[in-house]
């Protein structure tokens, strides 16, 4: 069986495992991986130029997890350095689909893999609403090429979208 490797076209976010992330045995508690995944999706959005609080205030939208499936493969432990990847695998008018992984840096071991569906909702009524065009435009600029590093995703966004929309948020 071929060893698994990090996806090449993915946003990567580093995470260090703190004592608070672990159970009594020093192993990352299963629900803590959800926090790691959330941080990576938030940082992916931030790297595109969007802050969640500003999206709420200026666009009137929030993103909320609608569905999540997770497969745990090998444990992360106290003080491990991890890399969390986020790849946009699809989207609808009011939702985003992500494939996410958590990797141990020391040995390249896959800790978990998750499929996450995130809904765009109206901040006032918490009802599904269309993803704002400015966000879809920014995502279109990265759909065809690899994304890596902290913030380097901005280099993949078209100049027109970056100067017109993202910097204006």
Catalytic residues: 23
Sort 33 into a burial class: Cβ within 10 Å, 0-12 / 13-18 / 19+: buried
Helix, strand or coil, per DSSP, at residue 156: helix
Q: Which two tokens stand for residue 134?
A: 């400015």
Judged by phi (left if over 0) then psi (alpha if -120 to 50, else beta), residue 15 lies in beta
């Amino acid at each position: 069986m071929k060893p698994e490797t990090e996806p090449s076209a993915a946003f990567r976010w580093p995470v260090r495992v703190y004592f608070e992330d672990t159970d009594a045995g020093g192993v990352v508690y299963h629900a803590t991986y959800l926090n790691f995944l959330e941080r990576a999706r938030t940082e992916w959005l931030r790297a595109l130029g969007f802050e969640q609080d500003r999206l709420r205030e200026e666009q009137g939208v929030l993103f909320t997890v609608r569905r999540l499936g997770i497969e745990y493969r090998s444990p992360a432990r106290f003080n491990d350095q991890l890399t969390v990847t986020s790849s946009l695998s699809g989207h609808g008018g009011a939702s985003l689909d992500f494939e996410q992984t958590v990797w141990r840096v020391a040995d390249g071991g896959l800790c978990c893999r998750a499929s996450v569906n995130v809904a765009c909702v109206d901040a006032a009524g918490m009802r599904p609403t269309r993803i704002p065009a400015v966000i879809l435009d920014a995502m279109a600029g990265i759909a065809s090429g690899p994304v890596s590093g902290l913030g380097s995703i901005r280099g993949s966004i078209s100049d027109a979208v970056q100067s017109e929309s993202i910097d204006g948020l």
